Structure 1
Amino acid sequence: MRERIVGAFVLLTLGILVTFTLVRAYTADGVLTQAEQRKADRSVELLSELVASRDEADQELDRAYLRAHLARGERVDFVAPDGRRLRVDGDGYRPAEASSDVVVSHDVPGGGRITLRSSDYLIDQRVSDVITSLVILGAVLVGLAAALAFVAARTLSRPFIELRDHALALGRGRFDLGIPRYAVPEADTIGQALEHSAGQLHDLVRREREFASNVSHQLRTPITALRLELEDVRLWPDTPQPVADELGRALGQVDRLQTTVNDLLDLARTRRIGGSTDLDLSTLVKTSVERWRAAAGTRDIALGVPGCVQVHLAPGPIEQVLDVLIDNALVHGSGTVTVAVFEDGDAVEVRVSDQGRGRPGDEVFHRNVGSSDDGLGIGLTVAAEIAEALGGRLFLGDGPTTSFRLQLPRR
């Protein structure tokens, strides 16, 4: 912004100065030509009187006498009554450039005619002097204009630079902006809009935090009660061993549900997921796939994992994303579901694909796309948000069939 304002000021000043210089040079040429014409008229009259007085005194008219009365850049031609001619050039006269000379003739009292020429280069030189002075003045004015433009630009841009800093602070979650009032109406309007938006965002964040706190309490209480009931039934002496074993597995799923609720609430509150630990991604993927084999029924789940793939991440969120992807492939895909792990330097990747034809668009990650009827829902959206909270990303793979790629950093 500042550069544009300074440039505009300088260009405007240059335009005015160039226009003024051209007009001034044109008018100066005319004025100087008229002045030279009047000077030549007076000079030729004086010379004619001098020649007449010289003739009356019976003194010889020679070149030295005429040259002594010529100004710089002048030439005089005298034609005597008897036809004798006398030409004298003054200092600085340039006969090669005499096409536009100022020429004045005058009859000499007592006979004869005298002609005076004034070289046009003198006029050109004076015009050049005028232009030179204007150029020097213009350079000074351009410098002053640039300095004033810089000061004005800094004064005008300062409010917007401060507003940018306030906007960045708002993006970092600071809502008490305290934006001052400026002398620039546009800046004041933007500041008021930022303060209004900060108030609305603060209210929205407050309600979301209250909602997260309420959900945390409302969900944890019944989950804890359910766990206690299952634990009591599993430990009841009359409970058959096969039922107790199934209850043990159910308790594991309840624990996973509790962890999932905690992670999602942390994600909703801070957009970050903690609890990172060193783990083998291959083992975690194998465990998730084995947990889904019973739900797959006749569908086959192929597993492609290398040896130990060591990462430093939170295991719960990764399992949640895998559950969403495998469930999506089983419910809405066809053929064999393939889950594979790949290593790529400082990153790892988990791919979940099936043999169903037709690649969905990226809009499947939007919250407003899909419903329980078409099966997409918001599961993929939440999975993508969890991937971002882990420092990675979830996106669609290339190819004619459906493939989801989960890229994660090693730590």
Structure 2
Amino acid sequence: MRRRLALLAVATASLVLVAFLVPLAVLVRALAAERATATATAWAQSVATAAALGDRNTLEATVRQAAGSSGMPVTVFLPGNGFIGAPAPRGPGVELASRGRSITVETPAGREVLVAVQGGARGPVVVRAFVTAERLRQGVGWAWLVLGLIGLVLLAVGIAVADRLARSLIRPVRQVAEVSRRLAGGDLDARVEPADPPEIREVGTALNHLATRIRDLLAREREAVADLSHRLRTPVTVLRLEVDTMRDKGEAARVGQAVDSVERMVDQIIREARRFDRDGAPRCDATQVVGDRVAFWSALAEDQDRPLRLGLPDEPIGVGVSAPELAACVDLLLENVFAHTPEGTPFTVELTARTAGGARLTISDRGPGFAHPAPVDRGASGGSSTGLGLDIARRTAEESGGLLRARSLPAGGAEIVLELGPGPA
């Protein structure tokens, strides 16, 4: 925008300067020619006055004085073929002037000023003062140079003013853009300091109102989620009391672990909903979290006769996700395996490190595969579920800088690949 305004200023100033300087340059040239012609005419008339007196000596002295003072060749054509002064051809203009008419004649070499003198005893006398082409243009070159310099100075001033104006316009626009990027990045405290011009001030004020409105709506939404999550504590507490009354201690322990998992998830939802800004970037060891969650689900897999193959690296792998979030994500993916495949279906869980950093979690099974062609889409489900599990896992992966892929295998079954970004070093 700044460059375009500068180009616009250059174009506009150039047109104005051309429209102003070209006629002025022509006028300067015409004035120089008229000034030289007027000088020649004045000296020619003074010589004509001396010629009218009829004294040859006085006439010769006057011609020498005129030629020396003006720097122009002066010739007096006498009746017949005689002349006094600088030699010059007796052209058609001289013949016309000898009839008693003073004229100015343009020639390729310059301009002739011819003054007729009547009343001589031997006939009319013609005084010729010649102005060369160089004399007609004398001083024009310097005048044009001065005009050109003035034009360049005015053009530079116009560019400087346009650039200053452009910066005054661009600065608030850039501020608005920067605040927009900060808002898009989650900084809801970013605000614009409205500045002129009035249109940009209005945009900045509107953006501030929008940011305030977004913050209020987000706060209201998170409060609602937190309140809803808090209400879940009551049924979780009831479940825990029911577990305590169960006679089968093994079954009670397993159900108690499930209740603990639900309670941790509810607590995590409340913490996430209550805060606007994270206290530092999230990070955890994916090897430990995945190993713990697979160990939890392995008991149910053993009860349902599901062969489980687990592949974990020996070293820890840091990912840009908090441990509770990753645990909830792994639980969602494993729950899908148990919910949408028949008992006895084998499945595989494999965790590997990505080359670019982070981890790749692959969960595959030998079940019927996905009924929906795009299972990752929000709300897409081929069964009786809500279809939100894979969407939650996808958002978790994308927030860490990764992605989620899900497909049906050609040999049968389903495969889900969860790629997690490395997070900060």
Superposition TM-score, scaled by structure 2 size: 0.70
Query: What residue in structure 2 maps to residue 253 of structure 1?
Result: 258
Kindly indicate whether residue 114 of structure 2 is the aligned counterpart of residue 105 of structure 1. Answer: yes
The one-letter code matched in structure 2 to 1:308 is E
Query: What residue in structure 2 maps to residue 287 of structure 1?
Result: 295
- Cα 1:221/1:375, change in 2 over 3 Å: closer
SS in 2 for 1:406: strand
SS in 2 for 1:115: strand
* C-alpha distance in structure 2 between counterparts of 1:292 and 1:408, whole Å: 30
Kindly indicate whether residue 222 of structure 2 is the aligned counterpart of residue 213 of structure 1. Answer: no
Determine which of 398, 401, 406 is the counterpart of 2:419: 406
Query: What residue in structure 2 maps to residue 382 of structure 1?
Result: 392
Per-residue CA distance 1:175-223 (angstroms, 9 max, x = gap):
8x5966x664323432442343234223312322321331232112321
The one-letter code matched in structure 2 to 1:223 is V
**Does the Cα contact within 8 Å between 2:350 and 2:362 map onto a contact in 1?**
yes
* C-alpha distance in structure 2 between counterparts of 1:310 and 1:162, whole Å: 40
SS in 1 for 2:81: coil
- Specify every segment of 5 or more residues in structure 2 that has no aligned partner in the other structure, as ranges: 89-106
Query: What residue in structure 2 maps to residue 92 of structure 1?
Result: none
Give, in angstroms, the shift of residue 378 of structure 1.
1.9
Taking the TM superposition and a 5 Å limit, the aligned residue runs for 1:320-335 are: 320-327=328-335
The one-letter code matched in structure 2 to 1:15 is L
SS in 2 for 1:16: helix
Query: What residue in structure 1 maps to residue 81 of structure 2?
Result: 83
Per-residue CA distance 1:316-356 (angstroms, 9 max, x = gap):
32233233344556777999755432222642222345686
Determine which of 266, 270, 274 is the counterpart of 1:265: 270
Query: What residue in structure 2 maps to residue 14 of structure 1?
Result: 14
Identity %: 23
* C-alpha distance in structure 2 between counterparts of 1:131 and 1:255, whole Å: 93
Query: What residue in structure 2 maps to residue 395 of structure 1?
Result: 404
**Does the Cα contact within 8 Å between 1:266 and 1:272 map onto a contact in 2?**
no
* C-alpha distance in structure 2 between counterparts of 1:46 and 1:159, whole Å: 73
Give, in angstroms, the shift of residue 162 of structure 1.
5.2
* C-alpha distance in structure 2 between counterparts of 1:14 and 1:66, whole Å: 46
Give, in angstroms, the shift of residue 366 of structure 1.
5.4
Query: What residue in structure 2 maps to residue 95 of structure 1?
Result: none
Give, in angstroms, the shift of residue 160 of structure 1.
4.2
- Cα 1:251/1:360, change in 2 over 3 Å: same
SS in 1 for 2:86: strand
**Does the Cα contact within 8 Å between 2:47 and 2:62 map onto a contact in 1?**
no
Taking the TM superposition and a 5 Å limit, the aligned residue runs for 1:276-355 are: 278=285, 280-281=287-288, 283-284=291-292, 287=295, 290=298, 293=301, 303-311=310-318, 314-327=322-335, 338-343=348-353, 344=355, 346-352=357-363
The one-letter code matched in structure 2 to 1:33 is A
**Does the Cα contact within 8 Å between 2:114 and 2:128 map onto a contact in 1?**
yes
Give, in angstroms, the shift of residue 151 of structure 1.
5.0
**Does the Cα contact within 8 Å between 2:348 and 2:365 map onto a contact in 1?**
yes
Give, in angstroms, the shift of residue 370 of structure 1.
2.3
Determine which of 224, 229, 245 is the counterpart of 1:232: 245
Per-residue CA distance 1:269-326 (angstroms, 9 max, x = gap):
447598855563573575377467469877x765444433443764432233233344
Give, in angstroms, the shift of residue 21 of structure 1.
0.8
- Cα 1:315/1:132, change in 2 over 3 Å: same
SS in 2 for 1:409: coil
Size of the aligned set, in residue pairs, is: 386
* C-alpha distance in structure 1 between counterparts of 2:181 and 2:397, whole Å: 25
**Does the Cα contact within 8 Å between 2:63 and 2:74 map onto a contact in 1?**
no
